[in-house]
């Protein structure tokens, strides 16, 4: 495996740092910015923040070879900090009428819109962590805070993957610890 250098790679941290666990995505982006100071595999990486509004997401990932979206979600469970990793094919299967995201419109609807408008990246991956508290405040719940560094490491792994030829599967999906 070799580092991707000429390909456009973008990580989009979705969330609001003033809404407790919703600040997870921006904190992962901040951890990647710190890691970029010493990790040559992150050279040329675009780090972006978004509030999750679909048109902004489409603008941020359009034309990217690889886009990784990091977000905290309402998963209906009682296990904050549980990590999920999705690739485009799995995102395609999300119900466009439900909003698992904490941003009002679900990722499935955003991907469907991007497809219609021909604004999808070549590869789209999503790493989401279940959150519990989305009210006003700046501190993440302990379980979600504990996932910032492991998710940043996983995103760095995904970004340094060179992307296999079409007939070879990519890196196996994995659930972050």
Q: What is the pLDDT of residues 90-99, one digit of tens each?
A: 555 545 444 4
- The residue among 173 and 79 whose pLDDT is bigger is 79
- The residue among 46 and 112 whose pLDDT is bigger is 46
Which domains are assigned to the chain?
Answer: 9-160 (3.40.50.1450)
Is residue 104 predicted with pLDDT exceeding 60? no
The pairing of strands 83-87 and 123-130 is: antiparallel
What pLDDT was estimated at residue 169? Answer: 42
pLDDT tens for each residue of 106-155: 677 778 888 888 888 988 999 999 999 999 999 999 999 999 999 999 99
* Unique residue bearing structure tokens 């995904």: 158
Alpha helices in 22-172 (DSSP H): 24-35, 54-61, 88-92, 107-116, 142-145, 148-160
What pLDDT was estimated at residue 106? Answer: 66
What pLDDT was estimated at residue 119? Answer: 84
| Band (6; pLDDT cuts 50, 70, 90) | low
């Amino acid at each position: 495996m070799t580092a991707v250098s000429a390909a456009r790679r973008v990580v989009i941290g979705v969330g609001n740092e003033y809404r407790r666990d919703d600040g997870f995505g921006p904190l992962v982006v901040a951890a990647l910015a710190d890691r970029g100071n010493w990790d040559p595999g992150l050279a040329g990486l675009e780090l972006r923040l978004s509030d999750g509004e679909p048109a902004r997401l489409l603008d941020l990932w359009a034309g990217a070879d690889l886009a990784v979206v990091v977000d905290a979600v309402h998963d209906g469970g009682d296990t904050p900090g549980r990590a999920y990793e999705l690739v485009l094919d799995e995102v395609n299967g999300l119900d466009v009428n439900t909003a698992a995201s904490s941003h009002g419109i679900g990722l499935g609807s955003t991907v469907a819109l991007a497809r219609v408008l021909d604004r999808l990246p070549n590869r789209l991956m999503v790493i989401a962590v279940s959150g519990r508290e989305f009210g006003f405040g700046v501190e993440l719940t302990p379980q979600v805070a504990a996932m910032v560094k492991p998710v940043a490491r996983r995103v760095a792994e995904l970004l340094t993957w060179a992307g296999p030829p079409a007939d070879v599967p990519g890196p196996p999906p994995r659930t972050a610890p």
